[in-house]
Structure 1
Amino acid sequence: MSGDQRPHIVVMGVTGCGKTTVAQQLSELAGHRFLDADDLHPPSNVEKMAAGIPLTDDDRAPWLAGVRDRLQALSDQGRRGVVACSALRRSYRDILRDVSDPVLFVHLTGEREVIHGRMHARSGHFMPPALLDSQFALLEPLDADEFGVVLDVAPAPDVIARDAVEYLHEERKVAAQ
């Protein structure tokens, strides 16, 4: 990434880790447009997840392409986005980063019990706690060659968002040198 090229940001991780909350705060701090990838799922995907049925790669492919297309549309407008998106596998992240501008992945991690407790405390979300184990089983952590940072979910969301912005500023300084 060149020092003057601002990246899109994908806040990733298993369901219930706080992606949406952190991404919303991060979008405000970074001055980027917020997108929730959950809003782009077709009804058939939402119905499957609400019924406790994990999505397949075939289910995810058009959804991920739609998220990528939204990022590219922002790039075409000279804008950037912060997306809350599970992006659990590297192959999914490869789809998301196939845009003309860099994509930074902020991987939110935490203990299963902490995330499970958060899922039970939230209301109005289609993803049931029963699917958490399938998400952990599918998760491929960021590889060393992927542009990203891993942050623990334990701090408050505003602290996590500030840590992500700090990481981004440090990376831009290094790239500018």
Structure 2
Amino acid sequence: MNTVVFIMGVSGCGKSTIGNLLAKELEIPFFDGDDFHPESNIRKMSNGEALNDEDRQGWLETLNDLAKKQIENNSCVIVCSALKQKYRDTLGFGIQNQTKWIHLTGTFDQIYKRMQNRVNHFMPSVLLKTQFETLENPENAISIDISFTPNKLLKR
């Protein structure tokens, strides 16, 4: 049975890096949720404003549609912050039995330092605090501490 592996966590925790590596290792497609944000969301975040539930809803539904289309033919990896349980419910709607969740975890300071080193990303590090405040730790996910190097993380 085809599966969608969702990799979640706050911005800057390494979702794209780990997702890309995992997809290559499994030889399945990789999708970065950031690539599917509408321009209005990107503009809002670029201006240092946190997205609200209404801003996210259409984006989450788009990712759910993508997941449903992908698993018709193949498994895939999709990375997305998915900070609240209701966001994860939307992402997995109709495909709950075909989803796996990986939660990348780290400390605020650890991730803030990483974000300071990122270039060409629309999410400013000032929004990290709101992401940590919004995060509802998932119950049904594999939690992985980001203290390890990406390749070591993948082996866990």
Same structural fold, with TM-score higher than 0.5 when normalized by the shorter chain = yes
Alignment of 1:1-177 (within 5 A): 5-76=1-72, 78-100=73-95, 102-143=98-139, 146=140, 148-163=141-156
Q: Structure 1: give runs of 5+ residues left out of the alignment.
A: 164-177
2-side partners of 1:158 and 1:103: how far apart? 23
Are 1:26 and 1:162, in contact at CA under 8 Å, matched by a contact in 2?
no
Residue 6 of structure 1: how far off its partner (Å): 4.1
Q: Is the contact between residue 3 and residue 71 of structure 2 (CA under 8 Å) also seen in structure 1?
A: no
Distance 1:125 1:142 in 2: 26
CA contact (8 A) 2:92 2:99 kept: yes
TM-score by length of 1: 0.85
- Does the 8 Å CA contact 1:23/1:161 hold for their aligned counterparts? no
Looking at structure 2, the residues matched to 45 and 162 of structure 1 have their Cα atoms a distance apart, in angstroms, of: 34
> Identical aligned pairs, as a percentage?
36
Post-superposition offset of 1:33: 0.6
Cα distance in 2 for residues equivalent to 1:162 and 1:82: 16
* Cα pair 1:19 1:85 within 8 Å, conserved: yes
Q: CA deviation at 1:31?
A: 1.9
List, as ranges, runs of 4+ consecutive aligned residues in structure 1 with deviation greater than 2 Å.
none
Per-residue Cα deviation, 1:124-148 (whole angstroms, up to 9, x for no partner): 10000000000000000012xx2x2
| TM-score between the two structures when normalised by the length of structure 2 | 0.96
Q: Could you list the runs of 5+ residues in structure 2 that have no partner in the other structure?
A: none
